[in-house]
Amino acid sequence: MSDSHGSKGSKGSKGSKGSKGSEDCCNCVEGMAEKLEQFKGFYAYIYEEGNKALAQGAIRNVKDNSVLHLERVTKTVFLPGGGLFSNVFTDLYISICSITEFAPLFPVDSVSAEEITNMQNEMQKKLNETRVR
C-alpha cells in the first residue's frame, strides 16, 4: 500500500471524512491527507483517477483533509488510444479522494523556479516521446 514515503492510496467502498458520502471515494482520505501534509513545500508527482492523470507541482496546502492545493503545476491527462493532453496552472486544487499515489521529490526551496520549469519541460518531453511510439 505504500512506497518509501507511504504515499500510495487504494480504492474502497465507503468514503471517510471529506468524501461527501461517495461510494467510489477512497477510504483512506485522512491517511493520504496526513502524508501529503508531511510533504508541504515539496515538489511532487500526483497521480489521479487510477493513473489517468499526472499533476506535477509544489504541495502548497492540504485543506480540510479533502483538498490538495498545488502551485506551479503541469497537469497531463492520458487519453484513450495513447494520446495525452497537458496544461499549465499557477494553482490547482485536487480532491484527495481522486489521488491514487504521490511521489514527493524535493523541497521546493532547495531549487530555483528555473530549475523546476526545466524539470517540468524535460518530463513533458519524455511523456511525449513515450506516447509517440
| Residue 56, helix vs strand vs coil | strand
What confidence tens digit (pLDDT) does each residue in 48-74 have?
988 899 999 999 999 999 999 999 999
Reported as type and span, the H/E element at residue 117 is helix 113-132
Q: For each of the domains in the chain, give its residue range(s) and CATH number, in order of start.
A: 29-132 (2.30.30.100)
**CA–CA separation, 9 vs 80, rounded Å?**
23
Please tell me which residue, 128 or 94, carries the higher pLDDT value.
94
Whole-structure pTM over 0.85, yes or no?
no
Provide the pLDDT confidence category of residue 77 given band limits of 50, 70 and 90.
very high
What confidence tens digit (pLDDT) does each residue in 84-112 have?
999 999 999 999 999 999 999 999 988 88
